[in-house]
A = this chain, B = another copy of it.
Amino acid sequence: MIRIGILGYGNLGKGVESAIKHNPDTELAAVFTRRDPSTVKIMTEGVPVVAAADMASYKDKVDILIICGGSATDLPVQTPAAAKLFNVIDSFDTHARIPEHFDAVDAAARENGHIALISAGWDPGLFSINRVYAESILPGGATYTFWGKGVSQGHSDAIRRIEGVKDAKQYTIPVESALEAVRAGKMPELTTREKHTRECFVVAKEGADKARIEAEIKNMPNYFSDYDTTVHFISQEELKANHSGLPHGGIVLRSGKTGWNDENTETIEYKLTLDSNPEFTSSVLVACARALSRMYSEGMRGCKTLLDIAPAYLCPLSPAEQRAHLL
């Protein structure tokens, strides 16, 4: 049994709890929270909710701690700190800051004889794995990552901060014609606008100037101004009924040339279609807990990413069973 602790009980933490239920070789040891533990009700019976400040007392009761905080401010602090006490996993997803986060977690884990995994999930994570395989196999080629159709939390939040907006949901949508050109092996050069569109469902406050809100959204730098953006004003009831899920997904595509004179084109496509972004991410994290627990038993220490983990470590079957049934 792999005893898993969860730090942070939001959408991702709840997803980890559900994923543990799906994996009979794992069990939930404790949920750690920065809130008052008496206010946090979890789904698993008989498992304690513990103040994050008391985490150290669980040092010998948790094999792997899965840290479910945000990348902006939580994880850069939480993961190196927790790696002093536990073997840890996070889903740090600020791509540009991965190298410094890696170094901080690696130092903390090594000094304390632990193993750590950062940036697990699907992007970074499964998409990264696929970029590495595809670029290694087809060195002469081009790689494309498309996201969606799915809800972008960051973009939804940005709309909610506009004056007169009561609530909002934003979908990122790949441009079908761009996808088709890439799938056909044409290796097009694509601008930001040519790859994705953005669709916004906005609940305006009573009496708010909708034309101004729409203009503010469409002209927002970084978030929307480089995209073709559609804005729909709907009621709060409609938003709740039709847009309360957190679906997401995306595609990594690479095509490259083979043959003595580059005469043939080969295309590799990896596609995720997810009803629940946090639940799928959590499912990756729990499979990684299995891998990390095995790698720790074999004596491995320090910080890893999914690129450093052989696929066999993630699978509940033994290597011989995998060769017989999955190879």
Contact = CB atoms under 8 A, between A and B. Distances in A.
A264 B258 CA distance: 40
A312 to B, nearest CB: 4
A307 B322 contact: yes
A137 B287 contact: yes
B310 A309 contact: yes
Contacts of A271: 267-271
A319 interface: yes
Given A266-B273, A269-B273, A307 B310 contact: yes
Contacts of A19: 258
A177 B95 CA distance: 38
A240 interface: no
Contacts of A270: 268-271
A52 interface: no
Interface in A59-83: none
Given A138-B283, A307-B327, A310-B307, A276 B290 contact: no
Given A265-B275, A269-B271, A323-B99, A314 B136 contact: yes
B279 A311 contact: no
Given A266-B273, A273-B183, A276-B259, A320 B287 contact: no
A137 B265 contact: no
Given A15-B258, A137-B314, A307-B311, 12 more contacts: A18-B258, A19-B258, A99-B324, A128-B327, A136-B287, A136-B314, A137-B284, A267-B273, A268-B270, A269-B273, A270-B270, A308-B319
Interface of A: 14-15, 17-19, 21-23, 43, 95, 98-99, 102, 119, 124, 126, 128-129, 131-133, 135-140, 183, 185, 256-260, 264-276, 279-280, 282-284, 287, 290, 305-312, 314-316, 319-320, 322-324, 326-327
